[in-house]
Amino acid sequence: MSCLGRRARGWAYGRRLTDATCFGTYAEFKEELRQAFESPKNEFRSRVANIVTNPMDEATKVATFMKGLRDGPVKTYLFREYPSTLEAAITLAM
């Protein structure tokens, strides 16, 4: 709770002062925190933001994965082989 912002920390400590067992699990704490501070509009926005309408094509996934690798023999090897799927690129990188 010490990592929370000012309002959220005050809310959480206030809840703990009234009932020491109010948060049984971390999941319960997260849910109560979300309900207390996230408006329904934000919940809808966050759900909509996770919907993928145009998924990345396989070549873009491979290129993005390869760009993220550190320079070295693995990256050089992958650029020589240039796998056609992300799964193949990950397998070759291992």
> What are 11-70's pLDDT values in tens digits?
888 888 888 888 888 888 888 888 888 776 766 777 777 777 777 889 988 888 888 888
The answer to whether position 39 is within a domain reads yes
Count the alpha carbons within 13 Å of 92 in the hemisphere toward its beta carbon. 21
Considering the domain architecture, whether residues 45 and 63 belong to the same structural domain is answered as no
**Cβ pair 64, 89 in contact under 8 A:** no
Number of domains in the chain: 2
The answer to whether position 1 is within a domain reads no
**Cβ pair 78, 92 in contact under 8 A:** yes
Alpha-carbon span 3 to 74, nearest angstrom: 38
Considering the domain architecture, whether residues 32 and 67 belong to the same structural domain is answered as no
The answer to whether position 29 is within a domain reads yes
| 21 Cβ neighbours under 8 A, 6+ residues apart | none
The answer to whether position 79 is within a domain reads yes
The answer to whether position 12 is within a domain reads yes
Whose tokens are 């996770």? That residue is 50
Give pLDDT, residue 40: 67
Considering the domain architecture, whether residues 41 and 19 belong to the same structural domain is answered as yes
Q: Which domain holds residue 82?
A: 58-93
Considering the domain architecture, whether residues 39 and 67 belong to the same structural domain is answered as no
Considering the domain architecture, whether residues 75 and 45 belong to the same structural domain is answered as no
Alpha-carbon span 90 to 86, nearest angstrom: 6
Give pLDDT, residue 84: 87
